Amino acid sequence: MKNLYVIPLLYLLSFSVLSAQPYTIQGKVVDVNSSEPLIGVNILEKGTSNGTVSGFSGEFTLEIRQECAALLVSYTGYSSKTVPDACAGDTLKIQLEGSMQLQEVVVTKRKSRRKRKRKQKAEYSNPQFFSSDHLALQQPADWNTEDYGLIEENRFLSVRQKPRSTFSIDVDAASYSNMRRFLNNGQQPPKDAIRIEELVNYFTYDYPAPQEEAPFEVIAELSECPWQPQHQLLHIGLQGKKIPTAELPPSNLVFLVDVSGSMNRPNKLPLLKSSLKLLTEQLREQDRVSIVVYAGAAGLVLEPTPGNEKEKIIAALNRLQAGGSTAGGAGIQLAYKIAREHFMEGGNNRVILSTDGDFNIGQSSDAALVRMIEKERESGVFLTVMGFGTGNYKGNKMQQLANKGNGNHAYIDNMEEARKVLVSEFGGTMFTIAKDVKLQIEFNPAQVQAYRLIGYENRLLDEEDFNDDTKDAGELGAGHTVTALYEIIPPGIESEFLADVDELKYQKGNRRKLLGNKSECCTVKLRYKAPDGKTSQKIVQPVPAQPVPLAESSDNFRWSAAVASFGMLLRDSKFKGQADYKQVKKMAQAAKGADANGYRAGFIELIGKARKLPAGSTADR
């Protein structure tokens, strides 16, 4: 089997993708006061674009191009540092602090230790490579080929004419971290980069755990709509079953890494490698990892390796370098081939594609790639897509691939996001507990005049798709939550959003006889399959027509409403009503809750940054 990959690997080597560097520096970056490791610190070889970032334990490995080099070390909230004479064989201990003071670098060189006192220098030889908040590369103003699919917001639909709303769940959260990247850079995000359901689902919610053997629990809550007080807001939540890491099935993972020339930026391949190292730290002996890379050609650079052989896996990642064009289609085909050949029955078989999304050689059109992924998913191999970088990010293409590959899509803008996706939410990202999950809500015309699904524009299904088990839908990971919001216009409320439709010529009066049930707002129906199943199961749950005052609604309800309002403001939505940034911030602060990981506090900071941007919205800032 090994001989099958000799030729493509030789092609890969010809592009200098795996050309080993003879000079290596290792080290660790810590806080000078607490000695805690610092994650995501930028370490750059001075005068070049060659750099890396520190991993989960604060450690880093950097291959330099000569025996000694000066290093530039920077981290948000800390004073920058210059290490002027780091040499091959050195082991650095770099201590950073938040003020311009003398700092200490401890260097261990070939079993000898020496201490150096260095005066702090807050300077970069190449400052354009890093933003103040993360690793975002500052490209020239006229260089931008980022791509986002057009989003036409869902409109209000009459319950008399269309009583059912059907859609596939979406657990992706790439739009949120991508939006954060723009705001942290002081830029207004592109309107079509804002997918409101992904903003809402970036956060976990305090939903009840599933009962007995069910893979998830369904909850619903009805209250006032904050941005349209005459309207109501329906909050629907799903809680995936949580599975301890030790009890998760074994994994057969194929890291598919883009090492093309477009990845040769500090916020792309170096950040990608550090992110996959975090994932490697979560693996167990029963897990297996392969590494496939693609540039001008595709090749296998690490055969299936037990998860406890972490040094071997990390060494293979460290050797990767960027160069060449992008044969993405060939890389995907080879990755799936490796995954199928080492398929684990009853296990988690998954390709993890890490890229900026630029496919320009071979099978590169969206349609061709989607058809290939649709065919490959029949093997039972799932797909996770992780996007990196700026200026060349193809969010639309990567989302399509993840959707069609029975997988998920994340955008990694810094090491904290990598830790969220690959450590904190490891089970939800890597382990599917239900696939083809669809929701269908039937509204009661006695209680609902019209409704609008907020977000999920590219997840809509026809109502007959709900009972069609051949129709693909979204996947739910272990411990994941899914949240959906409907804005509702109650009967008797006049609204500019209600369409004026001519009377029917061949039908008169109501085409459906009302059953007179006024106790229910709607009925939520859900279908799902086991990860290896062919036949779906159905859950039905009515929702009482008993809205509670907004002040008495749950933190879950108000937080999701605040995030949805924020998304509508960023999109300058015609449905934003009375929403403004002041209202969003006030509601978010009141609903923040425990916030153990600080993600909600981070969102509140983003509200302030959006409010300071030049007018891109008519909202009162």
**CA 257 to CA 291: how far, in whole Å?**
7
Fold of 159-240+433-494+517-562: Immunoglobulin-like (2.60.40)
Which residue spans of the chain are classified as CATH 3.40.50.410?
Answer: 245-428
**CA 467 to CA 440: how far, in whole Å?**
10
Under CATH, which architecture does the 245-428 domain have?
3-Layer(aba) Sandwich (3.40)
Q: What is the pLDDT of residue 145?
A: 72
Residue 34: CB partners within 8 Å, gap ≥ 6? none
Q: Tell me the Ramachandran region of residue 197: left when phi exceeds 0, alpha when psi lies from -120 to 50, beta otherwise.
A: alpha
For domain 2-129, which CATH number applies: 2.40.30.10, 2.70.98.10, 3.40.50.1980, 2.60.40.1120?
A: 2.60.40.1120
Q: What is the pLDDT of residue 94?
A: 92
Which residue spans of the chain are classified as CATH 2.60.40.1120?
Answer: 2-129
Which residue spans of the chain are classified as CATH 2.60.40.1230?
Answer: 159-240+433-494+517-562
Q: What is the pLDDT of residue 10?
A: 43
Q: Does pTM surpass 0.85?
A: no
Contact indicator for 471, 465 with CB cutoff of 8 Å: yes
**CA 175 to CA 200: how far, in whole Å?**
10
Mean pLDDT by groups of 10 residues along the chain of 621 residues: 47 44 82 77 80 76 87 77 89 75 38 36 28 34 68 95 95 94 93 96 94 87 97 97 89 93 87 94 95 83 95 93 70 91 94 81 61 86 91 80 89 92 89 94 96 97 97 92 97 90 75 73 96 93 95 97 98 96 97 92 96 62 48
Q: What is the pLDDT of residue 43?
A: 86
Phi, psi at residue 273, to the nearest 5°?
-65, -40
Q: How buried is 110 (Cβ within 10 angstroms: 0-12 exposed, 13-18 middle, 19+ buried)?
A: exposed
